[in-house]
């Protein structure tokens, strides 16, 4: 089972719900043709100077997708724990 997403989930969850409020912004990834990506700023900044200033919304969708993919195994594990108890 792919578990790399769990560390991302822990880190982002702590940041979003316990440490600070995030700012929603748009990152222009291409001018011609125009392409944009939703990003979440870790703090209010006028100019993004480092990747540490934000994380990509696509990271959240990756976590969600991998969580859904892992759901059958997680469910089987949880049921096994209940049957032992």
pLDDT computed for residue 75 by the predictor: 92
Per-residue confidence at 38, pLDDT binned at 50, 70, 90? very high
Q: For residues 33-61, give the mean pLDDT.
A: 87
Integer Cα distance of 46 and 32 in angstroms: 24
pLDDT computed for residue 85 by the predictor: 64
State how far the alpha carbon of 38 is from the alpha carbons of 29, 34, 67, in Å: 10, 13, 21
Q: Which pTM was predicted?
A: 0.64
Q: For residues 2-28, give the mean pLDDT.
A: 81
pLDDT computed for residue 33 by the predictor: 95
Mean of the per-residue pLDDT values for the chain? 86
Look at 24 and 21; give whichever has higher pLDDT: 24
């Amino acid at each position: 089972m792919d578990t790399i997403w769990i560390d991302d989930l822990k880190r982002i969850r702590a940041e979003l719900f316990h440490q600070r409020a995030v700012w929603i912004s748009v990152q222009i990834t291409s001018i011609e043709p125009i392409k944009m990506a939703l990003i979440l700023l870790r703090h209010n900044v006028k100019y993004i100077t480092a990747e540490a200033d934000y994380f990509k919304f696509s990271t959240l969708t990756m976590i969600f997708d991998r969580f859904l993919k892992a759901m059958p195994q997680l469910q089987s594990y949880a049921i096994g724990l209940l049957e032992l108890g």
